[in-house]
């Protein structure tokens, strides 16, 4: 296979972990006889500094012509003023809308060797293997905004079509896994959530009756995610709830540095990124955990390029490195040796066989 991958390293540790993902993809190409071409472009704070735009036209053109897009991270203290008219996060939101990637998949799987890195008791973490499917292009993040001297507002809007397409994708995913879907809303308070629940119930009844459906209010879901995480299979929810719950779920693994994500739409083109932030305090120090970025590259192989065997090989190589004791600073326990970003990357590449 020959494919073009747009690389958007971004800010902070984004370039560090993006380089790791690229090295792994290059290794996959050599091992499985593929040709991956990379086109690196600007996004986020560095794009603001160099062009005045968090998502320059050249970046958009590159992403539109690529087979898949890989993103490192955006943002940092330099651009953190929430009142600024131009901010790094605007580039990410615009990119999602431009690519029409409406579904964000965030798998959460516990490596037994890393149970000690989580603040939760080991018995609670046993058997955790879930995916959160977050609606990505609607809701309060994209609604009309206003502000004056005395008030501010953010409009949350969802259409039936937006809810149907995200729930349908989540239900299909549940059907490929353990057959359980949990829909999270706030239907006791919000009208958008009441629509979300009505549409979800109808769709599941009419199209996915074989899937077991559980419905939880978002506050209850936040509690159950920490008290009984192994009970969940696939969780589907709206944009802001999904943003919060997936960051909470990262604590099950003990580190944001272990969790990948894939943002998908109706086409095979997707946007792939680790869920961690830009971590500017450790940028360039060579100690960032590349596992989330490399696992995101595995999702890219699976969902955009259709290379399941290669994706599994990368995921197993990550697992093999962890099993063999490879630990970056964020997941190292007392008495364990700490390795660098490049050393962890090399361990994973070595595990590809």
Mind telling me the catalytic residues? 141, 186, 219, 243, 247
Centre a 10 Å sphere on the Cβ of residue 191 and count the other Cβ atoms it contains: 10
- From 81, 69, 72, select the one nearest 47 (Cα to Cα): 72
Centre a 10 Å sphere on the Cβ of residue 346 and count the other Cβ atoms it contains: 17
**Residues in Cβ contact with 352 at an 8 Å cutoff, skipping those fewer than 6 apart:** 24, 27, 28, 31, 313, 314, 317
Centre a 10 Å sphere on the Cβ of residue 240 and count the other Cβ atoms it contains: 17
Calculate Rg over the CA atoms of the chain: 20
What is the rounded distance in angstroms from the CA atom of residue 147 to the CA atom of residue 150?
A: 8
350 burial level (CB within 10 Å; 0-12, 13-18, 19+): middle
Q: Strand 145-147 vs strand 152-154: parallel, antiparallel, or unpaired? A: antiparallel
* DSSP one-letter string for 14-54: HHHHHHHHHHHHHHHHHHHT-EEEEEE---THHHHHHHS-S
């Amino acid at each position: 296979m020959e494919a073009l991958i747009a690389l958007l390293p971004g800010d902070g540790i984004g370039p560090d972990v993006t380089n790791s993902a690229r090295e792994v993809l290059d290794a996959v190409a050599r091992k499985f006889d593929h040709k991956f071409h990379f086109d690196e472009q600007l996004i986020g704070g560095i794009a603001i500094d160099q062009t005045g735009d968090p998502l320059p036209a050249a970046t958009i053109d590159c992403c539109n012509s690529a087979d898949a897009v890989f993103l490192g991270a955006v943002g940092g203290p330099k651009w953190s003023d929430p009142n600024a008219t131009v901010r790094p996060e605007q580039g990410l939101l615009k990119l999602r809308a431009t690519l029409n990637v409406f579904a964000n998949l965030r798998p959460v799987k516990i490596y037994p060797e890393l149970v000690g890195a989580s603040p939760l008791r080991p018995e609670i973490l046993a058997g955790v293997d879930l995916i959160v499917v977050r609606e990505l292009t609607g809701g309060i993040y994209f609604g009309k905004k206003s502000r004056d001297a005395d008030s501010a507002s953010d409009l949350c809007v969802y259409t039936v079509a937006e809810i149907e397409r995200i729930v349908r994708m989540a239900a299909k995913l549940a059907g490929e896994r353990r057959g359980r879907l949990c829909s999270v809303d706030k239907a006791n308070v919000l009208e958008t959530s009441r629509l979300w629940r009505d549409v979800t119930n109808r769709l599941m009844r009419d199209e996915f009756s074989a899937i077991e459906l559980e419905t939880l209010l978002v506050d209850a879901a936040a509690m159950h995610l920490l008290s009984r995480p192994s009970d969940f299979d696939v969780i589907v929810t709206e944009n802001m709830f999904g943003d919060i719950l997936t960051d909470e779920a990262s604590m099950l693994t003990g580190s944001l540095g272990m969790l990948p994500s894939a943002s998908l739409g109706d086409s095979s083109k997707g946007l792939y990124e680790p869920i961690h932030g830009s971590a500017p305090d450790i940028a360039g120090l060579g100690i960032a955990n590349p596992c989330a970025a490399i696992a995101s590259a595995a999702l890219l192989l699976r969902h955009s390029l259709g290379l399941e065997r290669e994706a599994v090989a990368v995921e197993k190589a990550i697992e093999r490195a962890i099993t063999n004791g490879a630990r970056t600073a964020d997941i190292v326990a007392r008495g364990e040796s700490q390795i660098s970003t490049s050393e962890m990357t090399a361990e994973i590449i070595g595990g590809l066989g």
